Structure 1
Amino acid sequence: MDMNQYLSMFIDEANDHLQALNENMLQLESNPEDIAIVQVIFRSAHTLKGMAATMGFEDLASLTHQMENVLDLVRNDKLKMQDFIFDTLFKSLDALQSMVQDIVEGGDGKADVTSIVDNLQAIVRGEKPGSSPSGGAAGASASQSQAKTALELDEFQQSVLEQSMNEGHKAHYIEVTVREDCQLKAVRAYMVFDLLERFGEVVKSYPTVQDIEQEKFENSFSLYYITQKDAADLESMIMNVSEIGAASVMPLDKESLQQLVSSASSQAAAAVETPEKPSAPAQDQTAAPAAAASAAPKDAPAKKPAAGGAPAPSRTIRVDIERLDVLMNLFSELLIDRVRLEQLAGEIKRSELTEAVEHMTRVSSDLQNVVLKLRMVPIDTVFNRFPRMVRDLAKSLNKKIDLVITGAETELDRTVIDEIGDPLVHLLRNAVDHGVETIEDRLAAGKQETGTVQLKAFHSGNHVFIEIIDDGRGIDRSKVAAKAIKNGILTEEQAKAMSDDDIALLLFAPGFSTAEKISDISGRGVGLDVVKSKIESLGGTVLVTSTLGQGSKFSVQLPLTLSIISAMLIKTGDEKYAIPLSSIVETGLIKRSQIREVHGYKMIPYRNANIPILSLKNIFDIPGFDEENEEETEIVVIRKGDRLAALTVEEFIGQSEIVIKNLGSYLPAVQGISGGTILGDGQVALIIDPNAFIK
């Protein structure tokens, strides 16, 4: 069977399972006695193993199987979780992640994990009760000691088979033998069960599915099966599974069924139990009532139950990101045409046309909201990798740190989500490395030995705020200022006039660092300029507040979306520009006589303060407008964080929804321009980046 068509699905689901494994392992590390979490981890690992085996990634399946052996001992209360077991399991997850990443990049998912496997096997051997390993070979031999015999059925199971035969279905007794040299017996058995369940129902198996999954069987297993397939077809199908040595399929009628059941030994009856249905496709016992079995259409794949209960319709589907991008591009064109129609309707002034355009505007506005919501992704997709990262960093630095995450359900546009991960990683690593003190330093300062790092996300207006707060040592103003003066960034007079928050922002200057020793984890200032540049390229800002001895807060402000925004259209000379509304404080008029020159900068009075005023005409060398001879000029007050500036413009065109278009690689990067948009009359307006004008 060609598995390539399922590869993308495997990668998505494998990543989901690995993320769930990481999260649940962290939860288990906090509550090592909670067997319920172990059960969840075991089921997730088992499902991942089955998926990998089905796709042919045997190294991945084999390593996951070794993890299962350890988890099986824990969930059966035969092994207590300890630090070295957690470390080994986390290393196993890292190796699995690397294998999946290799598959993503076109590789075969193979890796040398011998040392990890040896450690896992050592854990199993070292925790065996008495003289035999728990749940391992001894458990297998217990099952193997049972005579290979027919299965005894209870009344319900027997009635399922008989009623199915009455209604035209075929019942079979199947025995399957796995080759002696097979390295992954449980995986091969899983593949047989998965194959059979596409064409019918397994009524009962021996050994139980749970024992088969844990390789607690010798080399063979048997089962009762309902289908429409003939015995010869079934034998051929089973023998096509790799490393299957033999397959015997016995067609049953009522007489042969009675003979088979009556010949079942009491020993076999004691061995056959009814385990809880696993989440894997291989299922056991009475998989469905007789009515459900008889209702199955000929050769139809068996419908598998949802994990933990009855089948339920799925409420979600996976959509390729490229399709969403195509949808957004098509809607962008529709929005441009809508603006054009609104303009034409205003010129023609016919009531019928105006009404139709107004209706189209309402409908397209609703459509715009739907399209934008489709692209919104919970920031949890970024946050969920941080607990594991902080845990590993804290262990390597010999620190105790609690990571508290709030607002993970906050949604951001996918384009922002894709870009914000790395800056947040760096800010978190800084908080762990330089923010939170060592255990000794915290105790000496009268603090709890466990430091706290908070990661918060929340909406405010058209922005999302992400805050990283630590209760560590804080930022030493004097040390930062001294370094800035030494590097020639500031003079002593300038440093004295700056607030603590302004001094803290110097950490984002290129190459700036106060660290006495640069670690391979992070260094305040080493890379923080890159963090700032990335956030500002997304139309965001970053602010720092800190109290010495109490901790620091890094606050990142981001726009909700980077695709369609509300903007103020303005005209200066022969050019039209768009300024994002999210950056505008207000608009107004200023008299030329109010403009003052202070230290070489032009300033205007604004709300009991003075703010710089900049001329768009001069910045972009715009022809067709002589603002120097104007007695008063219109201005736009823009904001970057808590800093303000004013831009002079010739006239305001009005507010509009605009589609952001990339300028492409043909044009060099223009300072102060973040992109372009197409207006209703077909003209192109450049989108101003206010962040570039405020330093």
Structure 2
Amino acid sequence: MELNQYLSMFIDESKEHLQAMNDNLLSLESSPEDVSIVHNIFRSAHTLKGMSATMGFEDLASLTHEMENVLDLVRNSKLKMDSFIFDWIFKSLDALEAMVEDIIQGGTGKLDVSEIVAALKSIVSGDYLKGGSASSAAVKKQDSAQEPMLDEFQLSIIQQSIEAGLAVCLIDVTVREDCVLKAARAYMVFNVLEQNGEVIKSTPSVEDIEQERFDNSFSVFFISSTDKDSLEKQVGSVSEIEKATVTLLTQAKLDELMSPPASSAQAEVAAAVAEAPRASAAPTSPAAESKKPAGNAPVANRTIRVDIERLDTLMNLFSELLIDRVRLEQLASEIKRSDLTETVEHMTRVSSDLQNIVLKLRMVPIDTVFNRFPRMIRDVAKTLDKKVDLVITGADTELDRTVIDEIGDPLVHLLRNSVDHGVEPVSDRINAGKSETGTIHLRAYHSGNHVFIEIEDDGRGINREKVLSIAVKNGVIQQDQAAKMTDEEVYMLLFASGFSTADKISDISGRGVGLDVVKTKIESLGGTVQVESKWGRGSKFSVQLPLTLSIISAMLIRLGEEKYAIPLSSIVETAAIKREQIRMVHGNRMIDYRNSVIPLVPLGNLFDVPGLAVSITGDTQIVVIRKGERLAALVVEEFIGQQEIVLKSLGKYLTNLFAVSGATILGDGQVALIIDTNALIK
């Protein structure tokens, strides 16, 4: 149990540190001279290294250690950041995230990062400036003096094996030039090796060799249970292998193979690892010692982590308490005893404070999803050779935790779609008289008991005719339907399964996977998605999501024999209007409201309420509601009053109800439907 608890803490804190490093690295890319940002990244890396070593995730600790070496030089002004260094540190962070993800899935956090480690080492040594890419140095062996590097863990295994008197070899295998199936021959070599001992490291990696991503040779560090000559003979006898050279390693030979200037440092590290395999949490240099994390570490420690199921239980219990509180208030008003009334009023105040805390526990700022997007946009824009600015507003908007966990992937698809299909290449933007840098706005805001997320770009917009022609060609619609469709209906065709407007398939898009997945996921959360676009000006995707199980303030109203609740957050005001204020426009009732004309919606008729006494001939009670910039007036029979209500789902049987987002139980035990005001304003 304790181990699981520590593992859970390790995973959560690792994610926070990796996010902090990603954010800070993006900031550093904008301000490369700001050393304080480097200090923040170094502190996160150092903490992550210590945590990983303590938990026994040596690959994580060792890669973070290599990152630290680079950052240490930068923060001590011995190295200047450039695009090569930025790219490899970003790749390091991606690898660390993959390792943490592997641990989450129950793995050991192991990953072949030899190419990244070699690149980071070449940055530390300055070799990367001499023209040779570090990655090619890691993958392609130029000569026998430039053998593949070993990480600390692999080096310690080899050293311990040499000390124990085992035969440790470096095997160089060359495949014939005319070999057709290099990967198959390499597989046969590994088969022979695994029958005769243990492979510690291969260069290139086993994955690269399986994919035939190597020239005509590869090398393997190997602990053997067979003598040198027999091993050479067995490997050399594999069909189409030109030669196999086996070199027995001693400690002196091993030191010689490790490329300078890292050899002495590696030997020291390896000795330390051999003595205490998990004690790599200490600072690695006097500079690191003097810069231990102070009180301004980027990750806050004044938090405790609570299982989400406990919060669900707490929320359900409190919602029952709230229903009883409303019932007590009603009974106290009927009994009219002063001591009972005072006690109930005090309980109401306390439970209101408790309600705010319980609500806030379940709600999470959408920033936890948004904060990974700037890095993603940077990478996608760089891949597509475009310039894109991402402007985020409303990141402090809060959403229920269950929705937060699910909404990330749909937003990734929509943002990648905006960069790829929306924002034009630099040359096209200049020709269209636009700035060379495209802008994508990512906004979040509350409206009623919903959250809206908008992704808007200033790109080329959606080509109506192209969408229609592809839809007809793919059999999504018939030719005679095309001319009758509104722009909004045409844009929604983008969400049809397998639909793609990409001219060529790429890693970013064009496979027809994406927008249909987005729509399915959002609808599974009880939300909707809409599209607006102007050709040549840009597009806007609006996602509407419910707050799910929550407690909201609402105005209770009566229509005939039924009670309804309207969320206060969507109400502008309540009023009474006279008959002469109502006018008919194109067959629809409208009213004058603050220098504008807004639609009048008779709720009772809309919901077909029985026993309706109200008519729109005399004075009429109205509730003015808002959705974004649009307003409408709802006709009601009677205002009951404001009340805190528990928003309950109607379950799986009552789905797709028009303008109803859920129900609540009132103090007298009656059920009141909660009106979805957003559905009433188009």
Check 1:615–1:532 CA distance in 2 against 1; reply closer, same or farther (3 A cut). Answer: farther
Matched, 1:507 2:491: yes
2:68 matched residue in structure 1: 68
1:94-493 superposed matches below 5 A: 94-121=94-121, 123=123, 127=127, 181=159, 217=268, 242=277, 275=287, 277=289, 307=294, 315-457=302-444, 466-475=453-462
Check 1:452–1:651 CA distance in 2 against 1; reply closer, same or farther (3 A cut). Answer: closer
Query: How far 1:346 sits from its partner (Å)?
Result: 1.7
TM value normalised by structure 1:
0.63
CA deviation digits over 1:246-274, x for unaligned, max 9? xxxxxxxxxxxxxxxxxxxxxxxxxx996
1:45 matched residue in structure 2: 45
The answer to whether the 8 Å contact 1:539/1:691 transfers is no
Check 1:411–1:664 CA distance in 2 against 1; reply closer, same or farther (3 A cut). Answer: closer
What amino acid maps onto 1:103 in structure 2?
Answer: I
The answer to whether the 8 Å contact 1:568/1:580 transfers is yes
The answer to whether the 8 Å contact 2:60/2:96 transfers is yes
2:565 matched residue in structure 1: 578
Check 1:516–1:218 CA distance in 2 against 1; reply closer, same or farther (3 A cut). Answer: closer
The answer to whether the 8 Å contact 1:542/1:641 transfers is no
Structure-1 separation of matches of 2:396 and 2:530: 23
Structure-2 separation of matches of 1:243 and 1:547: 59
Structure-2 separation of matches of 1:369 and 1:48: 35
The answer to whether the 8 Å contact 1:536/1:691 transfers is no
What amino acid maps onto 2:418 in structure 1?
Answer: A
Structure-2 separation of matches of 1:439 and 1:575: 59
Query: How far 1:436 sits from its partner (Å)?
Result: 1.8
* Corresponding residue SS for 2:380: helix
Q: Give unmatched runs, 5+ long, in structure 1.
A: 135-177, 184-210, 223-237, 245-271, 281-305, 496-502
1:203 matched residue in structure 2: none
What amino acid maps onto 2:308 in structure 1?
Answer: I
Structure-2 separation of matches of 1:661 and 1:516: 42
Query: How far 1:382 sits from its partner (Å)?
Result: 1.6
More deviation in 504-513 or 21-30? Answer: 504-513
The answer to whether the 8 Å contact 2:505/2:511 transfers is no
Within the candidate set 487, 495, 503, 1:517 is matched to 503
Structure-2 separation of matches of 1:546 and 1:358: 52
* Corresponding residue SS for 2:357: helix
The answer to whether the 8 Å contact 2:577/2:621 transfers is yes
Matched, 1:687 2:674: yes
What amino acid maps onto 1:343 in structure 2?
Answer: Q
More deviation in 476-485 or 28-37? Answer: 476-485
What amino acid maps onto 1:515 in structure 2?
Answer: T
Query: How far 1:455 sits from its partner (Å)?
Result: 3.4
2:591 matched residue in structure 1: 606
Structure-1 separation of matches of 2:466 and 2:575: 41
Structure-1 separation of matches of 2:353 and 2:415: 38
1:618-633 superposed matches below 5 A: 619=607, 624-625=610-611
Structure-1 separation of matches of 2:471 and 2:277: 68
Structure-1 separation of matches of 2:603 and 2:612: 11
2:230 matched residue in structure 1: none
Structure-1 separation of matches of 2:617 and 2:539: 47
* Corresponding residue SS for 1:6: helix
Check 1:308–1:426 CA distance in 2 against 1; reply closer, same or farther (3 A cut). Answer: same
Check 1:482–1:587 CA distance in 2 against 1; reply closer, same or farther (3 A cut). Answer: farther
Check 1:428–1:129 CA distance in 2 against 1; reply closer, same or farther (3 A cut). Answer: closer
Query: How far 1:410 sits from its partner (Å)?
Result: 4.6
1:191 matched residue in structure 2: none
Check 1:348–1:390 CA distance in 2 against 1; reply closer, same or farther (3 A cut). Answer: same
1:19 matched residue in structure 2: 19
The answer to whether the 8 Å contact 1:567/1:581 transfers is yes
Query: How far 1:659 sits from its partner (Å)?
Result: 0.7
Query: How far 1:550 sits from its partner (Å)?
Result: 4.7
Structure-1 separation of matches of 2:352 and 2:277: 56
Structure-2 separation of matches of 1:219 and 1:399: 45
What amino acid maps onto 1:395 in structure 2?
Answer: K
Structure-2 separation of matches of 1:509 and 1:642: 26
The answer to whether the 8 Å contact 2:502/2:510 transfers is no
Query: How far 1:543 sits from its partner (Å)?
Result: 6.9
The answer to whether the 8 Å contact 1:590/1:635 transfers is no
Query: How far 1:338 sits from its partner (Å)?
Result: 1.2
Query: How far 1:16 sits from its partner (Å)?
Result: 0.8
* Corresponding residue SS for 1:606: strand
1:8 matched residue in structure 2: 8
Query: How far 1:399 sits from its partner (Å)?
Result: 0.8
Structure-2 separation of matches of 1:474 and 1:74: 43
CA deviation digits over 1:431-466, x for unaligned, max 9? 312222101112323444333334345678987665
* Corresponding residue SS for 1:217: helix
Check 1:111–1:101 CA distance in 2 against 1; reply closer, same or farther (3 A cut). Answer: same
Check 1:277–1:576 CA distance in 2 against 1; reply closer, same or farther (3 A cut). Answer: same
TM value normalised by structure 2:
0.64
Query: How far 1:412 sits from its partner (Å)?
Result: 4.4
What amino acid maps onto 2:503 in structure 1?
Answer: K
The answer to whether the 8 Å contact 1:544/1:555 transfers is yes
The answer to whether the 8 Å contact 2:449/2:552 transfers is no
2:139 matched residue in structure 1: none
Query: How far 1:403 sits from its partner (Å)?
Result: 2.5
2:56 matched residue in structure 1: 56
The number of residue pairs the alignment matches comes to 541
The answer to whether the 8 Å contact 2:462/2:491 transfers is no
1:650-665 superposed matches below 5 A: 651-665=638-652
Query: How far 1:528 sits from its partner (Å)?
Result: 5.2
The answer to whether the 8 Å contact 1:507/1:528 transfers is no
Structure-2 separation of matches of 1:590 and 1:538: 41
What amino acid maps onto 1:342 in structure 2?
Answer: E
Query: How far 1:490 sits from its partner (Å)?
Result: 7.5
C-alpha RMSD of matched pairs (Å): 5.0
1:77-92 superposed matches below 5 A: 80-92=80-92
CA deviation digits over 1:479-531, x for unaligned, max 9? 77999998679786885xxxxxxx46852456467936375535799855775
Check 1:334–1:414 CA distance in 2 against 1; reply closer, same or farther (3 A cut). Answer: same
